[in-house]
Amino acid sequence: MSAAPTHPAPGHSHGHAPASPLTARKSAALSGSLRPPGDKSISHRALIMGLLAVGETMIEGLLEGDDVLRTAQACRDLGARVERLGPGRWRVDGAGLGTLATPTRTMDFGNAGTGTRLMMGVVGGHGITASFDGDASLRKRPMRRILDPLTLMGAEVVSEAEGGRVPVTLKGASDPTPIEYRTPVPSAQLKSAVLLAGLNSPGRTTVIETEASRDHTEKMLAYFGAQITSEPHGEHGRRIVLEGRPTLRARPVIVPADPSSAAFALVAALIVPGSEVTIEGLMMNPLRVGLLDSLMEMGADIEVLDRRIEGGEDVADLRVRHRALKGADIPAARAPAMIDEYPILAVAAAFASGETRMRGLNELRVKESDRLAAVADGLTACGVKNRIEGDDLIVQGAKSVPGGSTVATHLDHRIAMSFLVMGLASEQPVTIDDANMIATSFPTFRPAMERLGAVFG
C-alpha cells in the first residue's frame, strides 16, 4: 500500500495557512494533452456509497484533492475502513446502511460544501449524533437549506452557529419520516442530502426540483442497487422517487475526468493565441456541460472526439483551438449545468468581442466565496469592464486585457484558477493572493498547465 496523501490535522482548518501568492504570465501558444483529475462530485459520492454499501467498494481515479480526502476521513469516522491502494485507487469497506458508528470527534470538512451537505444527509437519516465544522469559507455558507428538510424527516439540530452555519451538531432520525420535498433552490447537494437521509427511511422519499441539477447521486444509488426513478417534471425539472431501506451492494466505481477542472485548460486554449490542446476522458453528462454550449455559442473551436461510455458515464476527448470569441447571452435555465463554471466563463468573456450577459447567478453568492462579487472585483482589478444587474453579470469583452494586478481569491479555488488563466493571455501578469485552495479540487493544476506551456511564477 502506498502512503496516503497528507491530510490536514482535524481542527486546523479554521487557522490560516500562510497565503501563497502565485503569478501567471503571458504565455506562448499552449499545446499537448491533459487528462483532468477525477470528478469531485462523483468522488465524494463514491466514498459515501462505499460507506453505506455492504462489501468492498473499489474506486479508480478518485480525486485526491483536500475536499475529497475530508470525506474519506468522515467515512472512517462513521465506521468504514477506507484505504488508499495507489494513485487514485481506493477501497472502502462499508459500515452498511443503518449501522453507522457515532463519530468520536467533530468531522472537519475543511472547504468542502459538498462533503458537509451530503454527510449531513447521511447522519440525518441515522440514529447517531455528529458534529460538522470547516474552514472560514465553509463557516459562512448556508446550511439551513439542508437542515430544514432533515428536520422534517425527524432529525434534530442540537446546535448550530448563527444563521444556520457550521459548526453544527446534528442528531439523526433512526426511522426517518418519508417526505415529498420540493427544493426551494436548484441544488444537487440539497437533493442528495434528502435522498441520502431517505435511504434509511421505512417509506418512499420524493424530491421535486423545478430546474434539474446534476444527477450523480441518483445514478450511483441505482448502480448500487437502490430502487430509484427520475421523471421529467415541468419544463426543466425532475421528480425523483426513492424506495427506502434498499440493500446496497458494493460495486466498482471508475471516476471520469472532471469537466469543472477541465474548464480551465479549455478556456486557456481558447484565449492564448495559437493554442491547440486535447482534453482526455472528459465526462459529458448533459447536466454538467453547460459551459461547452456557452463557449460554442461564443464561437469556440471545440471538436468532440471519440464519444464513449466509461464507468457508466458518457465521456469524450475534446480538441480545442484558439479562436476569436464573441459575446453571448447565457440563459438562466443553463445555470445548474454550469454553476461552477461562471468564473472561468467570465474570463473567456473578457477576451470576447462585445458583451456577454450571464443571467440568473443568485446561487453564485453562496459558493466557496460570494463568487459573483469575487468575479466582478477580479475583472475590475484586471481592467475588464463589467457590471452586476440584479442576478446578472455583464462582461464587456475587449481584444486585449490589461491585467497587472493582484486578485483576491477569498479561499475560493475556482476564483484562483480562473484568474491565473486570465494572466496567461493578459498584457501584464495577474497575481492571485493565495494559491493554497487550488488543492481542494485540482492539486496538479500548476504542473498540468505548465506541461501545456503555461508560465507561472
Q: Which residues are catalytic?
A: 340
74 to 133, contacts with ligand S3P by CB under 6 A?
114
Query: Amino acid letter at 111?
Result: N
- How many residues line the site for ligand S3P (CB under 6 A)? 10
Amino acid present at 341: E
Nearest to 451 by CA among 35, 78, 4, 7: 35
The residue among 49 and 272 lying less far from ligand S3P, judged by its C-beta, is: 49
CA torsion 377→440→160→179, rounded to 10°? 100
Q: Which residue lies nearer to ligand S3P by CB, 213 or 431?
A: 213
CB of 389 to ligand S3P, least distance (A): 22
Q: How far is the CB of 371 from ligand S3P (least distance, A)?
A: 10
**Which span sits near ligand S3P by CB under 6 A: 181-189, 298-306, 383-391, 428-436?**
181-189
Examine residue 27 and tell whether it contacts ligand S3P (CB under 6 A).
Answer: no
| Smaller CB separation from ligand S3P, 283 or 424 | 283
CB of 57 or CB of 114, closer to ligand S3P: 114
Residues 323-352 binding ligand S3P (CB under 6 A) are 339-340
Burial class (CB in 10 A: 0-12, 13-18, 19+), 323: middle
Please state, in angstroms and rounded to a whole number, the distance separating the CA atoms of residues 223 and 225: 5
Q: Does 188 bind ligand S3P (CB under 6 A)?
A: yes
Decide if residue 322 touches ligand S3P (CB under 6 A): no
Among 187, 201, 205, 418, indicate the residue that binds ligand S3P (CB under 6 A). Answer: 187
CB of 391 to ligand S3P, least distance (A): 14
In the complex, least distance from residue 425 CB atom to ligand S3P, rounded to whole angstroms: 25
**Residue 322 or residue 367: which is nearer to ligand S3P going by CB?**
367
Q: Is 137 in the site for ligand S3P (CB under 6 A)?
A: no
| C-beta of 193 vs 268, nearer to ligand S3P | 193
- From CA 275, how far away is CA 281, in angstroms rounded? 20
The piece of 184-192, 310-318, 421-429, 432-440 that touches ligand S3P (CB under 6 A) is 184-192
The reply on whether position 214 binds ligand S3P by CB under 6 A is yes
Minimal distance in Å, beta carbon 192 to ligand S3P?
6
**Rounded to the nearest whole angstrom, what is the least distance from the CB of residue 30 to ligand S3P in the complex?**
26
Please give the torsion angle defined by the CA atoms of residues 90, 115, 416 and 185, in that order, rounded to the nearest 10 degrees: 140
Return contacts of 232-239, CB within 8 angstroms, 24+ apart. Answer: 233/208, 233/209, 234/210, 236/210, 236/211, 236/212, 236/333, 237/208, 237/209, 237/210, 237/211, 237/212, 238/208, 238/209, 238/212, 239/206, 239/207, 239/208
Choices 152-160, 187-195, 286-294, 341-349; region in contact with ligand S3P by CB under 6 A? 187-195
Which of 24, 36, 37, 41 is in the footprint of ligand S3P by CB under 6 A? 41
Q: Whole-number minimum distance, CB 455 to ligand S3P, in Å?
A: 28
For ligand S3P, the closer of residues 109 and 456 by Cβ is 109
Stretches 2-10, 101-109, 186-194, 445-453: which one binds ligand S3P (CB under 6 A)? 186-194
CB 388 within 8 A of CB 372: yes
* C-beta closer to ligand S3P: residue 111 or 206: 111
Q: Determine the interface stretch with ligand S3P among 188-196, 286-294, 304-312, 375-383 (rule: CB under 6 A).
A: 188-196
Task: Report the residue from 27, 71, 189, 285 that binds ligand S3P according to the rule CB under 6 A.
Answer: 189
Can you tell me the distance from the alpha carbon of 168 to that of 185, in angstroms, rounded to the nearest whole number? 21
Using alpha carbons, select from 45, 17, 4 the residue that is nearest to residue 256.
45
What span, in angstroms and rounded, lies between the C-alpha atoms of 409 and 411?
A: 6
Minimum distance, C-beta of residue 214 to ligand S3P, in the bound complex (Å): 6
Nearest to 258 by CA among 35, 37, 34: 37
CB atoms within 10 A of CB 277: 23
Pick between residue 45 and residue 126 the one whose CB is nearest to ligand S3P.
45
- Min separation Cβ 363 and ligand S3P, Å: 6
Closest CA to 206 of 187, 179, 233: 179
For binding to ligand S3P (CB under 6 A), which residues are involved?
41, 114, 187-189, 192, 214, 339-340, 363
